[in-house]
Amino acid sequence: MSAARPAAIWTPLVAFGATAAGVLVLFIANRLVTPLLFGGPGSSCAAPDCALGLGVWMIVGAFAALCLAFVAGIVVAAVRGSRPGVVRRGLIVAACCALGYLVESAVLWVIF
């Protein structure tokens, strides 16, 4: 095994960390929007998990996005190895997973 091979571990770690940050930002944004969409500012439902079903699916989607980001990061690292750009590839994986979570939350808002 070459000495440069351990550098490939950064791809899944960056993908996981950046996806976690993106999912957290999107979850907080959804939490801020919930009172406006469910009964106005004085509503007793102030969080996405308060809305029937919506919060559960958003939490499941966040967990799935994190798992997918880590697994996809491992696959990308295995395929690409430790060539230059391991952090960039991790960020690309994270952007795709966060975009998937954004699409899921938009679909959930339309359904619920």
- Average pLDDT score over residue span 35-46: 61
Residue 84, pLDDT score: 84
**Which of 8-27 are b and which e, b meaning 16 or more Cβ less than 10 Å from the residue's Cβ?**
bebbbbbbbbbbbebbeebb
Find where tokens 């998990």 sit: 49
- Average pLDDT score over residue span 5-32: 89
Domain ranges of the chain: 20-111
Percent above pLDDT 90 for the chain: 47
The whole-model pTM stands at 0.81
